[in-house]
Amino acid sequence: MGPVVRAGTSHQSGSRRSAKGAALLALQLCKDQPHIPLKQACRMISTKYRANCSSVWQAMMHIRRRERDGPRRDPRWKLTAEEEETVIGMILAFDRSSMPLKARQIRDAIQHVFKVKVSATWISEFKQRHKKYLRTRTTKGIQTRRLKTTSPAEVKDWLDRLDLFLKRHHFPAKARFNIDETRVIPAMKQKYLVGAPGMNDLNKSNVRAGRIKCYGTCLPFISADGDVFMVSYVLKSKQETYFHEVIPDEPRGRSGRPHFYAITKSGFLNKTLFQDTLLQFEKEWHLKNPGLDCIIFLDNCSVHRSDNLVVEDIDANFVLSLATKGIWLYFFPPNTTAWLQPLDDAAFGLFKLELGRKHEDICFSSAALLNQDGSLNLQHVIDAESNAFSPKAIKRSWMNTGMSHPEDASRVDAAKIMRRASETFGVPKRKVSTLIERSAQGATRIIRSTQPLAKKESVKIPVEIGRMYQAHELRCLHQEHQTLLAEKAEQKRQKAQQREEMAQSRSRAREKRRIHRETQETAKEQRREHRRVQQKERAKAQTRKERANHCRKCQRTWKGGTGWVECEYCALFSLCGPCSKNIVMMAGHERNCPKRPSGE
C-alpha cells in the first residue's frame, strides 16, 4: 500500500472555504501529484475544508472548461477582444492627431466597420472596461495650422539654446516675464438657474442680459514669481483722438501696478504701440530695479518682431536695441504658445471668466434696480484683472507649462516641456499592448494619408437688390454668368492675340526701319570715304601743281611766261628761263627721277 497523500501538513481539518476556492486547491493538488484522480482530490479537499463535494466538483468542471474554451464573454460586449483593441487603437490614433472622437462617431465607426450596432450605454461600459487607455474629457478649439508644426526635436533645440543663454545670463524669478495680448471680451457659459416649473411656454427660458462687446486688447507683463509688473490696454474707439471711457481708480501702494492706455479704431495692438509699450516697460523696470537685466518670453506675432537688421547700426533693430539696454526678448518656438506660454494656460482664461461674472452681476443689478440692460466699463475691467491675475494663478500657469521649475522659479522644467511637446505632437504617453499600438499606428497612417473630400465651392453671381431667388434660378444665373465670363475671356484672349500680332508687326517694321537706317548709314559712310579720298587726291594734285609751278633753284613762280623747262618724266621739276641755262641741275634730276623708265 502506497503512502497516503494529504493536502496539507496539518492533521487537523482546515477552515471552511468556498466551493470555488476548494476547487482551485483540488486542481492544484492534481497538478502537483498527477497520479491522484480528480474525484479523489475533490473528496480530499472537501473533507479537509468542510465544503460540499458536489459543489466543489461543479466548480472544478467550470474552471477546467474556462481554461479549455477561454472566458465566456458577456453578450452585451458585442465585440471580441481583438475587435475592441482595434477600436481602442483607432480612438488613440485620432486623439494623437488632435481629433478626439465623440461617442456618436465611435458608434458610427463600429457600425460601419464591424456591422454591429451599439448603444450609448455600451460606449459608456466600453470606456469603463478600458479606463486604462481611455478617458472622457473636455476640449477647447485650436487652429489646425498651430498643431504638429513644431516637432519635439525642434523644441529640444530651442531648450538647448535657452539653456546656453541662461548659463551666460542669470535672471531671478522676478526678472522673468511673459507678455501676450488678449481681447477684452467676457466669457459667457451656459447658465443653470433656479425658477418656477412649467414656465417654458411663457418666457422660453430666457434671461435678461446686456450685449457683449469687445472693449479692446489687454497686454499684461507677468513674472515667474507671481507678480504683474505692468498692464497696457489698447481701447477700441471710432474716434482715435478721444478717450470715451470712465477714468478707472487703479490700486495704489506697493501692490499697485502701473496701467497705460492707448486708443485705436480696431482696438488691436500695432507695431508702433508695442514698441512704445516696451520702451515704457524699460523705463519702469530700470526705475525699480536699476542695474538688473530681465528676459521677456513672447510669441512670434508679426507685431512683436523687428526684421530690420543693419550691421553698421544695431539700433535699427528694435529687439537688439532693447538688448543693449538689458531687456532681452526671447521668442517661443513657432506654433507652441497654446501649450508653452504661461498666459495662455490659466491667466487669460481666469481673466475672461472674471469679466463674464462681472458682466452678469452688472446686468442683473441694472435689470433689477434700473429696469435696463447693463454694460461693463473700464473700471470693471480693471477690477476683473486684479481678481484674475493673482500670484497663485500666475505661478500655477508658469509651472503648468514648464517655464518655471517647482523647486526653483528661475529655471525651466525641461523634462516637462519635452513631455508636453511629445504629447502635442502625437507621441504616446504610455506603452500599450501590441495589437492596440499596431491599430493606432495603422489608423494614424491612414488619417495622415487620406486625401481631402471633394466639396462644393461657393460661387459669385450678380443679383438684383431686394429680389428673392430659388435654387434653379440661381443655377440658371450662374450658367449665364459663366457663359458671359467665357465670352469676355474669349474676347479678352482675341484682343490679346490682336495686340500680340500688332506688336509683332510693329517689331518687324522697326526691324526693317533699322536695317534701312543701317544701309543708309553705310552708304553715307562710303560716300564720305570717297569724298575724303578725292580730297586727298586733289590735295596731292594741288601739291604737285604747286611744286611744278615753282623754280627749284630760285623759287620763282611760273606766271605763264616762256623759257621755263620741266622734267620730261615727272613734270614736277621745273626751272625758270634764267636758271635753265645751267643744264647740270636738270640733267642731275633726270638721272635720279623716280619715274624715269629703267634701261634708259
Distance (Å, whole) CA 248 – CA 3: 100
Contact (CB, 8 A) for 329 and 298: yes
- Residue 198's Cβ-side half-sphere holds a number of Cα atoms within 13 Å equal to 0
> Which 3 state secondary structure label does DSSP give 466?
coil
How many Å is the Cα radius of gyration of the chain?
Answer: 52
**Crossing angle between the packed helical segments 120-129 and 81-96, to the nearest 10 degrees:** 90
- Residue 319's Cβ-side half-sphere holds a number of Cα atoms within 13 Å equal to 18
Report residue 441 as a C-alpha cell: 499606428
Distance (Å, whole) CA 127 – CA 163: 42
Q: What is the pLDDT of residue 210?
A: 66
What is the DSSP code (8-state) at residue 366?
I
Of 323, 316, 321, 317, give the one whose Cα is nearest residue 294: 323
Q: What is the pLDDT of residue 284?
A: 92
Distance (Å, whole) CA 180 – CA 340: 12
Per-residue pLDDT of the chain (600 residues; tens, 9 = 90+): 333 333 333 334 445 678 888 888 888 888 888 888 888 888 888 888 888 888 889 888 888 887 776 655 555 568 888 888 888 888 888 887 777 888 899 999 888 888 888 888 888 888 888 888 888 876 666 655 555 567 888 999 999 999 999 999 989 999 999 999 999 888 766 565 665 665 555 555 566 666 777 889 999 999 999 999 999 999 988 887 788 788 888 776 655 788 999 998 888 998 899 999 999 999 999 999 999 999 999 998 888 887 666 656 667 788 888 999 999 999 999 888 888 999 998 899 899 999 988 888 888 887 777 767 678 888 888 989 989 999 999 999 999 999 999 999 889 999 999 988 887 776 655 555 577 777 777 777 776 666 666 667 888 888 888 888 888 889 999 999 999 999 999 999 999 999 999 999 999 999 999 999 999 999 999 999 999 998 888 888 777 766 667 787 787 777 777 777 777 777 777 788 788 777 778 777 777 887 777 766
Q: What is the pLDDT of residue 391?
A: 92
Distance (Å, whole) CA 531 – CA 528: 5
- Residue 108's Cβ-side half-sphere holds a number of Cα atoms within 13 Å equal to 5
Which residue in this structure is represented by grid cell 481708480?
249
Query: What are the residues facing 176 on neighbouring strands?
Result: 295
Contact (CB, 8 A) for 314 and 280: no
Q: What is the pLDDT of residue 541?
A: 76
What is the DSSP code (8-state) at residue 49?
T
Of 222, 149, 234, give the one whose Cα is nearest residue 184: 234
Q: How far from the centroid of its chain's Cα atoms is residue 295's Cα?
A: 24
Contact (CB, 8 A) for 208 and 372: no
Distance (Å, whole) CA 511 – CA 506: 8
Q: What is the pLDDT of residue 201?
A: 53
What is the DSSP code (8-state) at residue 238?
S
Q: Determine which helix (DSSP H) or strand (DSSP E) holds 260, and give its type and residue range.
A: strand 259-264
Contact (CB, 8 A) for 398 and 392: no
Q: What is the pLDDT of residue 3?
A: 36
Q: Determine which helix (DSSP H) or strand (DSSP E) holds 30, and give its type and residue range.
A: helix 19-32
Alpha-carbon separation of residue 218 from 232, 267, 382, 406 (angstroms): 6, 10, 10, 28
Of 287, 253, 270, 294, give the one whose Cα is nearest residue 219: 270
Alpha-carbon separation of residue 162 from 167, 175, 417, 424 (angstroms): 9, 15, 13, 21
Distance (Å, whole) CA 263 – CA 241: 8
Alpha-carbon separation of residue 397 from 233, 234, 313 (angstroms): 22, 24, 38
Which residue in this structure is represented by grid cell 475671356?
489
What type of residue is 467? R
Of 288, 296, 536, give the one whose Cα is nearest residue 403: 296
Distance (Å, whole) CA 565 – CA 463: 114
Q: What is the pLDDT of residue 246?
A: 82
Of 596, 539, 600, 599, give the one whose Cα is nearest residue 573: 596
Contact (CB, 8 A) for 225 and 244: no
Distance (Å, whole) CA 368 – CA 411: 51
Report residue 460 as a C-alpha cell: 459669385
Q: Determine which helix (DSSP H) or strand (DSSP E) holds 234, and give its type and residue range.
A: strand 228-236
What is the DSSP code (8-state) at residue 11?
S
Which residue in this structure is represented by grid cell 475533490?
42
Distance (Å, whole) CA 133 – CA 96: 13
Report the Cα–Cα distance between both ends of the chain, in Å, rounded. Answer: 173
Distance (Å, whole) CA 553 – CA 573: 10
> Which 3 state secondary structure label does DSSP give 50?
coil
Distance (Å, whole) CA 393 – CA 116: 48
Q: Provide the total of helices (H) and of strands (E) in the chain, helices listed first.
A: 19, 9
Q: What is the DSSP string of 155-182?
A: HHHHHHHHHHHHHHS---GGGEEEE--E
**Crossing angle between the packed helical segments 347-365 and 378-388, to the nearest 10 degrees:** 140
How many residues make up the chain in this entry? 600
Alpha-carbon separation of residue 468 from 458, 463, 465, 471, 472 (angstroms): 18, 9, 9, 10, 12
